[in-house]
Every structure is written in structure tokens, then in C-alpha cells.
Structure 1
């Protein structure tokens, strides 16, 4: 009982800064919220040891020759982008009205429209890079509503806000679980679209190269694409330096072969995006736990 009370108190204390930001943001214009959150989270990631250590671990692994000053600059960028992105997700209903800020291109978009015309489902695979929710907002505006797989947050105070936000991007929203997978399968078999963020560590998964190091990587997107003969389209939403405009690229669908080869290709594609803009990837993830 005591441990449960301690855990509840920890979650509440963890949530309080988020609650404060949400309260302040309600009285601010949309862009001002993002700027404020970007500065707050940017400061935290750059200077608070628990966050900075996570970013440092990843950057030093991938870029061992990178000077400290450059790692510090990237850490601040990571925080600013994450602050803006999470604020946009928490206010996703309003963010959905900003589709005039999204500039989309790439052959994958035509492939998605073709799948829709044929009554087929499709899988969009992306990662925690730039502004990933902009992808689903754009697709919904195009008549290609896309559901998503999400990882439930353990904090019961924060979870309703986060889940409520991503529900605004398109339906259905399913948790990462066996039940969620079954719901997703039913949806894509009926011609529905789903987005999966495939850049996190997954225990017991296939070891596949990512940013130059082997690490556990989900093969679920490729497994589903192969089993149900669906296009697997990588898509990335790059945030412009102005902070507002999102450049969305729908890349050429990954050719069908075998699941490991297909996800190796996806890892190579997102790695290219990260190398070009390292400050827009979520380095706080412990992507190489098995090393």
C-alpha cells in the first residue's frame, strides 16, 4: 500500500509541470504556446542531468567525434522541437486546423491515393522525428484518414491528455498490445490506413542496424504489409526553422521482400533524415538498450 501511494505521488509530481504548461497555454495564442514549451523543454534537455544524459549517450554512440559544443547545441534543438511537438499534440484539435502550414510531396502520396482507390489498406511507417502527427492530419484532410498505434503512458494523470490529443489526428487509435494489433488488422483488411512509429527499442525483436549499430527493431509494419499485401510508405514531417511550417515527405514505398530486409531499409531511410537534421529526432529514447 505504501509503495502504491509513493508511486501515485511520484506520478502526480511528474505531471505537475505538464499541468502548469497546459494551464498557461490555454490563455496563450497557438504559436506562443509552442514557443514557450520549446524554451522550457529545451532548457530541461540541455541542462537537467537525467535528460541531458540520455541525449549524450545517443549522440556519443552515433557521433563519437562530435565536439561537446555541437552536442550541446543539438540537445537544445531536441528539447525545443519536442516541446513544440508535444504541445501541438496536447492541443491536437486546434493543430488539425493548421493544415495550410503543411507542405507535402513525394511518390508515396500517390501510392496511398492509389491504394485508397483500389479499396486497399496501407501502412505508413515513421518515427519520433520532426512533427509526426502532421502526417496524419494531412492525410485526414486528403480523405485518407489514418489510425495510429500508441504506447500507453504509465502516468495516469498525463495519459488522458495525451490519448485525447492523438485521437484528434484520425481513427482508430489502438494501444500497443495483442488486442490493439487485432483491431489494427481488422481495420487494414477493410481498406483502412494505419501509421506506426517504428524507431523505438522493442524487447526480443529482430536485431537490425540503426544509425550504425545493431539494435532490437520491430518488424511488425513489414510483417503486416507482406501478409496483407499492403504498401509500406515511409513518411517524415520535417519542422521548418520558422517552427511553424512542416515539410512532409511521403517516400517511395519500401519494396516487398522479407520483414528484416524491409525494416533495414526503413532504418536506413530514417537514419538519413536524422543525419541531415539530428536536432529533430527524439534522442531521449534509449534506442540501444541491448548494447
Structure 2
């Protein structure tokens, strides 16, 4: 058991580098601050060996013929994107005012609007790809609001900043676990929209192909969609214009069949996005660990 005083000190120590980076760029314009944290994270991927090795292990699974130097550059590009994404999440209220940066495509948005007009709930499924919060920002632009499911962070400093950020994107924000699941069911049954990132390893899940490799995958989104007659819409916020703007794609709702088939459709959709823009996916999720 770690003493509470030591745990608090460790939380401060682990948060300090990010706090320092955010403080240094505090007085710059939004886009410059975003670029600044992206540059910091790219440097971490280049000069911090544990992060580089972890990325290389995961990327090598999917791109075994890619040269090591090319994978290293891919890792740095990923770090740049993820640094910008984290900055934007920490400042989500400000991010959501950047309406001129969003380009919307796909028919799924019209389907969501129709479902809402009928009092019908919906589930948006996405992944740690591009700027996933751009999806909820576009929904707000169109008079809709989506809550989200998130995994609480054990570090209280990160938790405070991240939770405050994502709450600005739409409510309710529901933690993983039994209480969160109960609230989620109540929300969608009442006609609400919820966004779920479905690309993390789920130890009680089923093995489904993801980027060509079997990965333990949660069926919960599809199970909820079937049980409560909800739309299940894949949506992705893809960085364009050197990362300064976002193409937000709302795909067609996944047809209701069975939970495995529906989840495979989503996995295939996200895999296609990642293969087209591999630097925009967060490769450090340990998606295939201990398979």
C-alpha cells in the first residue's frame, strides 16, 4: 500500500511536465498553443526510449515491412497529433468555438437529427483517432448534444483537467463501470445521444479482427443498440490542412443484425481510417497486449 502522501507526490511529479508545457505556451493564440504541445509530444516520442519502443512494438505488428526509420517518423507524427488533441481536449470550450475549422460529410448526421426529432436515442462509436471531440463539437453546431463514456484517470491532476474539458463538449459524462452503465442506459432510453470510443482492449470481450489482428473487443455498444432500438453511427474527426482543420465524417448507421457482426463492421471502418492516416491513431493503447 502506497502512503497517501507519497501517492500525492507521485501525482504531482507525473503531472508537472505537462503542466510546465501548458504554462510555457499559455499566452499564445489557440492554434499556436496547440502546435506547441504537439511539438513537445513529438519530441517525447523521439527522445524518450520507453515511448518509442512501445510505439515501435505496436506499429511493427501492422507494418512489419516498414523500415525502422519510417516507423520512428510515424511515431513522432503520432505524438504531434496526440499532443494537439490533448491540448484541445483540455481547452474544449474554446475548441468548440472554432466553427470555421470543421468540414462535415456523410449521411449519418441527418440520420441522427431524424432520430432525435422522433425522440429516439443513438450511440456514436469512434476511436482514439484524429480529433474525436470534433464529432461532438459538430453535433453542438447542429443543435444536438452528446454525452460520452470515459475511463477515469488515477492521477487526480489529469482527472480534474480532462473531466472539466470533456464536460464542456456535452453531457452527461459517464465513467466506465456499473454506475456509469446504469446512467448510460437511462440516458439513451430517454432519447439521448452517447459517444463511445470502442478501440481499447476489453478483457471480457470477444476476439475480433482489428487492423488485421485479433483484438479483445467490447460488444456493449452494439448490444445496447439492439436492446433499445438505437442508431449506432460510426463517426470520425480527421485532421486535415496540416492538422489545423477537421473533416468530420458521420457514416451510415450500422444495420441491426447481431452484436458481433455490428462490432466487426465498426472495427473494419475504423481500421480503414487508420490505414489511410496511421499517424492519427493513438498506437500506445496496448490494443493487443497478452492476446
**Structure 2 match to 1:191:** 191
Cα distance in 1, alignment partners of residues 46 and 225 from structure 2: 39
Cα distance in 1, alignment partners of residues 229 and 139 from structure 2: 21
**Is contact 2:240-2:247 (8 Å) kept?**
yes
* Residue 25 of structure 1: how far off its partner (Å): 3.2
Cα distance in 1, alignment partners of residues 183 and 261 from structure 2: 26
Counterparts of residues 178-217 of structure 1 (less than 5 Å)? 178-217=178-217
* Residue 181 of structure 1: how far off its partner (Å): 0.9
Q: Is 1:159 paired with 2:142? A: no
Q: Is 1:86 paired with 2:50? A: no
Counterparts of residues 260-275 of structure 1 (less than 5 Å)? 260-275=260-275
Counterparts of residues 33-52 of structure 1 (less than 5 Å)? 33-52=33-52
Deviates more, 1:55-64 or 1:18-27: 18-27
**Is contact 1:126-1:235 (8 Å) kept?**
yes
Q: Is 1:237 paired with 2:237? A: yes
Counterparts of residues 17-32 of structure 1 (less than 5 Å)? 17-32=17-32
Cα distance in 1, alignment partners of residues 90 and 214 from structure 2: 33
Q: Is 1:102 paired with 2:102? A: yes
* Residue 119 of structure 1: how far off its partner (Å): 1.0
Counterparts of residues 75-154 of structure 1 (less than 5 Å)? 75-154=75-154
**Structure 2 match to 1:55:** 55
Q: Is 1:251 paired with 2:263? A: no
Offset from partner CA, 1:60-85 (integer Å, 9 cap, x none)? 01111111121011101100000000
* Residue 9 of structure 1: how far off its partner (Å): 2.3
* Residue 3 of structure 1: how far off its partner (Å): 4.5
**Is contact 2:124-2:193 (8 Å) kept?**
yes
**Is contact 1:126-1:198 (8 Å) kept?**
yes
Any idea what SS the aligned residue of 2:156 has? coil
* Residue 260 of structure 1: how far off its partner (Å): 1.1
**Is contact 1:54-1:285 (8 Å) kept?**
no
Any idea what SS the aligned residue of 2:97 has? helix
Any idea what SS the aligned residue of 1:232 has? strand
